[in-house]
Structure 1
Amino acid sequence: MTDTVPAASESEFWEAFYQEKEQVWSGKPNPLLVREVESLSAGRALDLGCAEGADAIWLAQRGWQVTAVDISETALKRAVVRAADAGVPGITWERWDLSQSFPEGLFDLVSAQFFHSPVGLDQNRVKTLRRAAEAVAPGGVLLIVGHAGFPAWVENPPPVRLPSTAELMESLGFDPNSWKVELEDVVGHDMPGPDGQPGTREDNVLRMRRLR
């Protein structure tokens, strides 16, 4: 008889991921979020997969009323502390397993930054992004940013599906009478390896505005 180890759930995976280090991310907002959102008028924002809170804090500092959600309790606790240390009000922190349920309400901005995972089902992520689109208020913006691939120095990339913007739009089934594509972009940037290896990485940016 062969013993098998069951695969970790998404909740277990991300809890272990954040507990490995006291701080995983830089504490700075995602540059492509800043690029795409800084010209928008503040309103209600939903930050999906908020991690340690840098994007949500940046949005709140600019007047947005933010609901920030993540599956990891550890990540959310860090985010709460960092927002308090920065003296930033206006953020509601909530733990959700978005493959199972979704926050209520409509938002002027729904942001999904690098909404990838090496565990869980791809169809669950598609379902979540469809629900994210439904949560955008008329006139509001859906912003999805994701990696387009891995740098060449990554020898054994994780088994994560990285759809193009065209594949994403097809899977989400946007009604052209209800949505306008404001931006469909691929952005490259330098990304050296951990030992100084030269490398670049490309990210996909999809910005959609709900018309009705």
Structure 2
Amino acid sequence: MSDETVTDEQLWDARYSESERIWSGNPNAVLVREVTGLEPGRALDLGCGEGADAIWLAQQGWRVTAVDISRVALGRAAGHAAEAGVADRVDWQWHDLGASFPDGAFDLVSACFLHSHGDLPREKILRTAASATAPGGTLLIVGHAGPPPWEHDHHGVHLPTPQEVLESLDLPDGRWEVQRCEEHERTQTAPDGRPVIRTDNVLRVRRLDDRAEPRP
């Protein structure tokens, strides 16, 4: 099978099939920081992978819809949720987000590291994510600001700045509050075991309640 015929679903299924776990099993630190203190409601986790973020949200009292393109990842995530005792609080859904999207409005929409080497229409997906954010709800987008230093073939993936992400959302004036739009550094372990510094970015915006007065 040539690279041109490999779908995103096949690509990610193959990656998740390489080992029993490819991520740490811990929720993203930025998600924990930004969501702690919010009143739990309905949450949407885009690109949930093996389920760590969705499980953590469920443990905090959220009702979670968790989405991924890999059925291998979703099956694994459902098993982890059952082990954590929150299987009844998470709805695992398969979506190719460029073609389909979960129904409903959500008090929290989280897209943490929604990157792919495949043909991922990220800007379109994130604009749909903004539309799915309920009045008064929060949209959280976390991404890499640059490729890992050990990876020399970046596959043409564009890694936008947080300001570029904000502008690409094309949010209507006066209807959203920008709460965080910044880059930050973190330490990650490279494949050879070395600690390396990586730069990521975070955008957190809140959709104003329709009853609220728009800010000038």
**TM-score normalised over the length of structure 2:** 0.91
Segments of structure 2 that go 5 or more residues without pairing to the other structure are 211-216
**Partner secondary structure for residue 137 of structure 2:** strand
Match of 1:66 in 2: 64
Tell me, yes or no, if the aligned pair for 1:112 and 1:145 is still in contact at 8 Å: yes
After the TM superposition, which of the residue ranges 138-147 and 153-162 deviates more from structure 2?
153-162
How far off is 1:109 after superposition? 0.1
After the TM superposition, which of the residue ranges 128-137 and 11-20 deviates more from structure 2?
11-20
Match of 1:91 in 2: 90
Alpha-carbon distance in 2 for matches of 1:107, 1:86: 23
Name the amino acid aligned to 1:173. D
Superposed, 1:61-140 pairs within 5 Å as: 61-88=59-86, 89-121=88-120, 124-140=121-137
Match of 2:7 in 1: 9
What's the C-alpha RMSD, in Å, of the aligned pairs? 1.6
Alpha-carbon distance in 1 for matches of 2:16, 2:2: 25
Deviations 1:100-142 (A, max 9, x none): 0111100000000000001114xx2111111100000000000
Match of 2:203 in 1: 206
How far off is 1:9 after superposition? 1.3
Tell me, yes or no, if the aligned pair for 1:147 and 1:202 is still in contact at 8 Å: yes
Superposed, 1:131-210 pairs within 5 Å as: 131-210=128-207
Sort the Cα spacing of 1:151 and 1:120 in 2 relative to 1 into closer, same or farther, 3 A. Answer: closer
Alpha-carbon distance in 2 for matches of 1:98, 1:40: 26
Which of 12, 32, 35 is the matching residue for 1:34?
A: 32
Which of 45, 48, 51 is the matching residue for 2:49?
A: 51
Alpha-carbon distance in 2 for matches of 1:52, 1:79: 4
Sort the Cα spacing of 1:5 and 1:86 in 2 relative to 1 into closer, same or farther, 3 A. Answer: closer
Alpha-carbon distance in 2 for matches of 1:93, 1:137: 20
Identity of aligned residues (%): 54
Tell me, yes or no, if the aligned pair for 1:11 and 1:72 is still in contact at 8 Å: yes
**Partner secondary structure for residue 199 of structure 1:** strand
Deviations 1:40-67 (A, max 9, x none): 1100000001000000000000100000
Runs of 4+ in 1 over 4 A off after TM superposition: none
**Partner secondary structure for residue 191 of structure 1:** strand
Match of 2:213 in 1: none
Tell me, yes or no, if the aligned pair for 1:153 and 1:199 is still in contact at 8 Å: no
Alpha-carbon distance in 2 for matches of 1:103, 1:78: 20
How far off is 1:4 after superposition? 6.2
Alpha-carbon distance in 1 for matches of 2:11, 2:150: 24
Segments of structure 1 that go 5 or more residues without pairing to the other structure are none
Name the amino acid aligned to 1:179. W
How far off is 1:195 after superposition? 2.1
Alpha-carbon distance in 2 for matches of 1:200, 1:44: 34
